[in-house]
Amino acid sequence: MRRTGQAISRVACGVRGVTRSLSLAAALLLLAACMSNPSRPPEVMSAGGMTYPESAHLKKVEGYVRVQYDVTVDGTVANAHVVESVPQGIFDEAALNAVRTWKFHPAVVDGKAVESKGLVSRLDFKLGESEDYAR
């Protein structure tokens, strides 16, 4: 009986060892797959800095602005410009100022940082969320 118990114990330990080995092998394969295709889009590191224009706040005006911009290889925003705003002209400057402060991990293609052109983001200006804006 004792030998049977030891044998079962060894088998159980062996199964746990195999399971650990398979888990490690799966993790290594997943990591290798990620490293074999080192391409990804730009990722936001920090975004914010929106200021609700005082005149719009006093008049209780809400709206949005769509801003088109490029992300450089060092992760900064370049060439930001308004492509749509509602109401027109009220929030444009605040939106552009905010987008220009954003920081990104740049896009990566074949393991190298590259510029991303023509990204578009919508910035919403809502009075109910005014505590989220800088003043």
What's the order of all strands across the beta sheet hosting 63-71? 77-86, 63-71, 116-125
Mean pLDDT, the chain, rounded, equals 81
The whole-number pLDDT of residue 122 equals: 96
Over residues 93-106, the mean pLDDT reads 96
CA distance 7 to 21: 21
Note the pLDDT of residue 38. Answer: 80
- Letter string b/e over residues 4-37, b meaning 16 or more CB atoms within 10 A of that residue's CB: eeeeeeeeeeeeeeeeeeeeeeeeeeeeeeeeee
Give 107's contacts (C-beta < 8 A, 6+ positions apart): 39, 40, 41, 42, 71, 113, 114, 115, 116
Mean pLDDT within 91-98: 97
What is the secondary structure of 87-131 as a DSSP string? STTTSHHHHHHHHTT-EEEPEEETTEEE-EEEEEEEEEE-GGGGG
Tens of pLDDT, residue by residue over 22-74, are 565 555 555 555 555 588 999 999 998 889 999 999 999 999 999 999 999 99
Q: pLDDT at residue 18 above 70?
A: no
Q: What is the CATH number of domain 43-132?
A: 3.30.2420.10
Which of the two residues, 5 and 8, has the higher pLDDT score? 5
Return d(Cα 108, Cα 61) in angstroms, integer: 40
pLDDT band at 14 (very low <50, low <70, confident <90, very high): very low
What is the pTM (predicted TM-score) of this model? 0.69
Model pLDDT, residue 29: 53
